[in-house]
């Protein structure tokens, strides 16, 4: 089964909730914008999981290929955004 497009998702939500497709698309857009703005404070998407900002520490790694193959380099520390799936979502998807 092919993945659903944004338009198909909006149409499905609009049909289930009883609103117009444009309103459903706007609600999805606003949820995404709110998530972008609030991710640094951990943003929970009820029933799915949460967006969290994580500080990844600096680390050393050995280059496996390319001109620096075999050399050890330092990867600097950085912030990364991760999505942690809720247990209920995992169970529903994996049908436990």
68-83 pLDDT tens trace: 888 898 999 999 999 9
- What beta strand segments (E) does the chain contain? 43-45, 49-56, 59-62, 72-75, 78-85
Low-confidence ranges of the chain (pLDDT < 70): 1, 96
User: Has residue 74 been placed in a domain?
Assistant: no
The SS3 assignment for 72 reads strand
In a domain, 9, yes or no: yes
Full-model pTM: 0.73
Q: Is residue 22 part of a domain?
A: yes
What is the predicted pLDDT for the residue at 1? 67
- In this prediction, residue 68 carries a pLDDT of 85
The parent domain of residue 20 ranges over 1-39
pLDDT at 96: 67
Which residues, other chains included, contact 77 with Cβ-Cβ below 8 Å and sequence gap of 6+?
55, 56, 57, 58
The reply to whether 29 falls in a domain is yes
User: Does residue 2 form part of some domain?
Assistant: yes
Note the pLDDT of residue 70: 87
The H or E element spanning position 10 is helix 6-17
pLDDT at residue number 14: 95
- Identify whether 10 is part of a domain: yes
């Amino acid at each position: 089964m092919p993945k659903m497009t944004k338009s198909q998702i909006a149409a499905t939500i609009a049909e289930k909730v009883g609103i117009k497709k444009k309103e459903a698309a706007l609600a999805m857009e606003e949820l995404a914008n709110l998530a972008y703005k609030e991710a640094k404070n951990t943003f929970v998407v009820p029933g799915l999981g949460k967006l969290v900002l994580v500080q990844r520490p600096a680390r050393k790694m050995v280059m496996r290929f390319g001109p620096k193959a075999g050399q050890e380099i330092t990867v600097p520390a950085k912030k990364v955004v991760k999505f942690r799936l809720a247990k209920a979502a995992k169970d529903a998807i994996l049908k436990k």
